[in-house]
Structure 1
Amino acid sequence: MTILVGYSPSPEGKAAVTFGIDQAKAFDDTVIVLNAGIGETPDERGVATNQDMDELKEALRSSKVSHEILQFLRGNDPVEELLALAEATEDTRMIVIGSRRRSPVGKLIMGSTAQRIILDADVPVVSVKADKKA
């Protein structure tokens, strides 16, 4: 089976990768990590730099889980890319995403990205928070 992780270079994104690795170890699954963005600007929010990607590769390599890293910068919305990949990967066990801590009002209205993934995914979605110290 496959665990699909939506990655952004943030504490929440790193927490999602860590959770995905832990689940892959527990179930002997493969992890596919996807970083996606529109790709219109080099400093687009959520898009991993070469340094971010190198750190991600090292974390996955050292975990010794079967893995694949994808980065799509082809003009599509990151949510669309993640959901399309989940649908195209027939054995997706779950999607893992990072989520930010929110104020009481922010909790009432979840972020649009996370909300779209949770509502539109055909597989379970796990939302992971970063460590409070991160």
Structure 2
Amino acid sequence: MSREIVAGVDGSPESLAAADWAAREALHRGLPLRLVHAWRWEPLDLPLLQDPTEQQQAARGVLREAERAVAERHPELPLSAEVLGDTPVAALLDTTKHAELLVIGSRGHGAVAGFLLGSYGQQIIADAEVPVVAVRSRDGEAAEPPAGQILVGQHGTPEDSAAALGFAFGAAAARGAGVQAVRAWSLPPLFAYSPGSLRLADEAGGLVPYEEKALREALAPWRERYPDVPVTEHVELGSAGQVLLSRSGAAQLLVVGRRARRGALGARIGSVAHAALHLAPCPVAVVPQEVDAQD
């Protein structure tokens, strides 16, 4: 079955920005765009007049407005729109079965919002089987600079960040952009390094060269797969979230991986993804990796 890009809309500036960004991304990738609005009649236990037909028409109106805006800006884009009769979380997760990626709106400097509020956005990002992109709003348009690199965080072994790196290189190739790969590291506690780890660091010439070597090794297969994508490397002492945010101002997209940890309080997306979604000024792509169960 053919793949598509899906954007959720609710009429807010954030969701309209998400639709605008998703349209441009669909053109970059040569894919169709599907706009969706989740609505299900659930009468409230209140002494108010509640008309399901009127509410359904309002939902369709929201979708028509978004569809019209996208079609006017991108008339050449294959476009469809649909009202989904389910809750936002269930409806949008269901769309990812045939999606290349899912795009949602974000207010920034707060919880993921737009057509989703609070834990809904986090749940979708944590449970989606495809990358989810959160887009900032600037007067109803995506707050994305016209140029800039794709910024991606790399950590651990090459396998640990393969999904995020693959997404970043694919996005850069589609856009004709470069990739800036960032690896943050911190000084280990006094007894944290094993003799084997210390030996590897010594062989590399010290901790900084060791981290630089680890980044080069993680990037090697993607450089080979995408030889036309320019790559810059950056290794810095500090927390991954802080280092990535400090370099996100000039990026057109920030890509981070996430491991969803499910516990008694529900799904969590990890501290780096959490920081990026709340504070990065550019769109943020959260790419699923392996899932860790609660200990």
Quick check: TM above 0.5? yes
Match of 1:83 in 2: 93
**Structure 1 stretches of 4+ moved >6 Å:** none
Matched, 1:71 2:83: yes
Distance in 2, matches of 1:85 and 1:96, equals 11
CA separation of 1:95/1:29 partners in 2, compared to 1, >3 Å: closer, same or farther? same
Q: Aligned residues: percent identity?
A: 29
Q: Does 1:48 align with 2:59?
A: yes
Please give the alpha-carbon distance, in whole angstroms, between the structure 2 residues aligned to 1:39 and 1:100.
26
Number of the residue aligned with 2:220? none
- Match in the other structure for 2:24: 22
Write out per-residue CA displacement over residues 20-54 of structure 1, whole angstroms, 9 at most, x where no aligned residue.
Answer: 0010111111111110022336687xx7352x333
Please report how far the alpha carbon of residue 129 of structure 1 lies from its aligned counterpart in structure 2 after TM superposition.
1.2
* CA distance in structure 1 between the partners assigned to 2:63 and 2:129 by the alignment: 28
Match status 1:59 vs 2:66? no
Pairing partner for 1:101 from 99, 108, 111: 108
Higher alpha-carbon Rg: 2
Unmatched runs of 5 consecutive residues or more in structure 1: none
Between the aligned partners of 2:134 and 2:92, the Cα distance in structure 1 is 14
Equivalent position of 2:121 in the other structure: 114
Q: Which deviations, in whole Å up to 9, do the C-alpha atoms of 1:58-98 show, x marking residues without a partner?
A: 223331211110112x3x311101111212x2xx2110000
1:53, 1:94 → 2: CA distance?
19
- The number of aligned residues is 121
* Cα 1:68/1:49, change in 2 over 3 Å: closer
What is the CA–CA distance in structure 2 between the aligned matches of 1:2 and 1:54, rounded to whole Å? 19
Normalised by the length of structure 1, the TM-score is 0.77
Instruction: Determine if contact 1:12/1:129 at 8 Å carries over to the other structure.
Output: yes
CA–CA distance in 1 between the matches of 2:59 and 2:109? 23
TM-score, normalisation: structure 2: 0.37
SS at match of 1:48: helix
Gaps of 5+ in 2: 43-49, 141-295
